[in-house]
Every structure is written in C-alpha cells, then in structure tokens.
C-alpha cells in the first residue's frame, strides 16, 4: 500500500465553492489527498437553488442524491432525481442541476478521469451565479 499523508477528509474541512450556485465542497482530490484518477465531494442546494450549466471536456460526473428533490438537465433533457437515485453525466454533456423541492437537497458527486490541468476541468455555458466567489482548485497546488 502506498503511504499517503492524508486519506480522510471531513466535509467541514473542505472550502465551500459557491461560484456556480449552491454549496459545493470537494473533499477528495489531488490537492486534498493526492488522488490520481478523479475527485469528489458533497453538494448542498437550498430550495429553488441551482448550479449553473457547464460541461466537463475530460470527465464523467457521477451524482448520488442523498436528500431532497433535484432535476438535472442533460443537453436540454430534464431528469428528475430523488433520494437514492444516481445519475451519470457523460463527458462533454452540458448539465444544470436545480433543487425543485421545497427543502434543502444534498448529494454526493465524483468526477473521473481528471482533466490534464484543473482549469480545463469545467467549461461554463451559462453566466456563473457568483463570479467573484472563490473557486478552489481541485488539482495540484493553487
């Protein structure tokens, strides 16, 4: 087994990313634990909140809904999701996530494989919600 400085990260240690909407926290990544194949974490969306549309040119995204009612739009096609549902977003697919319920929604996500460089991982196709909000890098040192 390879020795790693850190293998466990609590969501409270992760930097909130609110740039695209909601509260997205990357817990496991090259930057946090030295992962080499992907990254993942937690997301929280308040009632009516959304994550702006974007796509990943190098990665698939896996989303697992833990609580609440969400709707993921994939290249213009809406898919309803509830607790226990899992969804894959294929590489290059435009997607936008909305909390369509009246309570907070929570999910777990993972993206793999990694983009060649962190700044190449996301391509925004809609104006981000908070352009001046911190955008923590998931890759190597910031």
CATH number of the domain enclosing 106: 2.60.120.10
Segment 43-89, tens digit of pLDDT: 999 999 999 999 999 999 999 999 999 999 999 999 999 999 999 99
Q: Is the pTM of this model over 0.85?
A: yes
Domain assignment present for residue 8? The answer is: no
Domain assignment present for residue 55? The answer is: yes
The average confidence (pLDDT) of the chain is 92
Compute the distance between CA of residue 82 and CA of residue 67 in angstroms, rounded to an integer: 7
Domain assignment present for residue 1? The answer is: no
2-6, 72-76, 98-102: least confident range:
2-6
Structural contact between residues 26 and 118, judged by C-beta atoms closer than 8 angstroms: no
Domain assignment present for residue 57? The answer is: yes
Compute the distance between CA of residue 55 and CA of residue 118 in angstroms, rounded to an integer: 14
Compute the distance between CA of residue 9 and CA of residue 92 in angstroms, rounded to an integer: 29
What is the span of the domain harbouring residue 64?
Answer: 17-124
Radius of gyration of the chain measured on its C-alpha atoms: 15
Domain assignment present for residue 6? The answer is: no
- Structural domains of the chain, count: 1
Q: 33 by DSSP, 3-state: which?
A: helix
Domain assignment present for residue 96? The answer is: yes
Segment 115-127, tens digit of pLDDT: 999 889 999 999 8
How far from each other are the two terminal CA atoms of the chain, in whole angstroms? 27
Q: 30 by DSSP, 3-state: which?
A: helix
Domain assignment present for residue 111? The answer is: yes
DSSP letter, residue 75:
T
Domain assignment present for residue 11? The answer is: no
């Amino acid at each position: 087994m390879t020795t790693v400085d850190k293998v466990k990260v609590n969501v409270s240690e992760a930097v909130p990313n609110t740039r695209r909407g909601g509260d997205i926290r990357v817990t496991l990544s090259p930057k946090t634990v030295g992962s080499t194949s992907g990254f993942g974490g937690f997301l929280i969306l308040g009632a009516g909140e959304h994550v702006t549309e974007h796509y990943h040119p190098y990665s698939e995204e896996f989303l697992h809904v833990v609580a609440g009612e969400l709707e993921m739009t994939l290249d213009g096609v809406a898919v309803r999701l509830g607790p226990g549902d899992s969804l894959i977003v294929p590489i290059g697919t435009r997607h936008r996530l909305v909390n369509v319920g009246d309570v907070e929604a929570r999910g777990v996500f993972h993206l793999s494989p990694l983009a060649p460089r962190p700044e190449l991982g996301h391509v925004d196709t809609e104006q981000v919600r908070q352009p001046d909000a911190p955008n923590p890098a998931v890759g190597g040192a910031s």
